[in-house]
Amino acid sequence: MLKSGLIETDDQKVGVRVANIDGSERADNTHMIEIRRIIQLVGATYFFFMTIWVVPVACVITVSMLFPLMFFSMPMFNYLEHKLCGMVNAHWNAVAVFCGTTVTEYGTNLSSYAEEKCLLLANHLGLLDHFVLMQSLNEKGSIRSRWMWVIYNIWKYTPLGVMWTSHGNFFVNGGASKRDSVINAFRDHLKNSYYKYDFGWVIMYPEGSRFYLVKKTGRSFAEKNNLKPLDNCVYPRTGAAHAVLDVLGPADDSFTLSRCGKGAPIKYIIDATIGYRRGVVPDISDAMMGDWATVDTPDFAVHYDVIPVKKEWADEEKLKEFLYERYAIKDKLLAEFYKTGSFPGKQTKIVPNNYEMSLAQVFWGTLYYAHYYYWLRPLIVYGWTSFISMF
């Protein structure tokens, strides 16, 4: 039988549960834990396979089949491709909910900016940052369908990378030696793709990599440039953000045309500050298995500030000055969050769309099976028989 008790200290009372568990109850609890672990493992295997193979393959084949439509109706192609992108995000949200994650927003409500053209800059703590932003932005207008992500190229040659490429996302290489060539390629990509594929938001992590990987070099950079070292983030690299504003920023104070002359300009910078409880960044494999360090570890938070773009930020030095100031503010926000567990401002708990997430599983499973039955299997059989006939 279980008996509850209360341990008292000199300073406070701490509620604890003291239990005397006989052998049968201990065995039952062990069996329940084992069953839960098996269920979690089965679920993790399912979502892992769906995420790295089923969804990317089904999406890429579908987009490839839509390519001829570009010659007849580009708006129709964009409409259908954006719908696919939205369903991809619905699946990613299902993964996050399966892991038990929740997201709380603070600061500016972004709903009124959903259909504007924006540049979102976020600090980068871990791989789960993607899930935080995808959950947060999922129900806000057409953001999730029309965003362009700037992603580190470690993913480029995976099924996920091929899918992201088919959507129009851009992959960046690391290293100062490649900076100029990468930035020039990014400028060309923005000019050729942003308006053609009807993108709205550009999303990037300007710190260059996850915080724990760049913390040491970030501190050295700050000291070298006579800047106050930051404790919870690092000063951002400005090349990619400057490329966005130099190509897509306003040509003049009327904000009617971008600097490249192809459409309406980027009007706002969204400063996103992602926070994990007590600064503990969960590992994605632990998250998939539900192995959280503490009860509140999967409760993520993100703080938003919206800053109108200034024409002068087409000058990289002026943009750099602004971003360094913003990241100093971000560092203080994170310090306060790690101390108190909350960011300043009104908070809003994100409520997942369970119906849409369930529909996404049926949609991608059915679409993949159709492609496999009519295209993949015949091609695999043909390729195998052709290979065998050579011997």
| Bridge partners for 120 per DSSP | 203, 270
Segments in the chain below pLDDT 50: 1-21
Of 149, 75, 144, 148, whose CA–CA distance to 111 is shortest? Answer: 144
Q: What is the DSSP letter of 236?
A: P
Residue type, 277: R
| Contact indicator for 304, 114 with CB cutoff of 8 Å | no
How crowded is residue 367: how many other Cβ atoms within 10 Å of its Cβ?
19
Of 257, 262, 216, 214, whose CA–CA distance to 236 is shortest? Answer: 214
Rg of the chain taking only CA atoms, in angstroms: 24
Query: What one-character-per-residue DSSP string does 37-80 give?
Result: HHHHHHHHHHHHHIIIIIHHHHHHHHHHHHGGGGGT-HHHHHHH
- The pLDDT of residue 292 is 87
- The pLDDT of residue 27 is 52
- The pLDDT of residue 2 is 39
- The pLDDT of residue 141 is 93
- The pLDDT of residue 6 is 34
- The pLDDT of residue 22 is 52
pTM tops 0.85: yes
| Bridge partners for 106 per DSSP | 303, 347
- The pLDDT of residue 33 is 65
- The pLDDT of residue 30 is 65
Looking at 3.40.1130, 1.20.1300, 3.40.50, 1.10.12, the CATH number of the domain 47-349 comes to: 3.40.1130
Tell me the two tokens of residue 18: 């003291």
- The pLDDT of residue 39 is 83
Of 160, 135, 156, 155, whose CA–CA distance to 59 is shortest? Answer: 160
- What are the extents of the domains in the chain? 5-40, 47-349
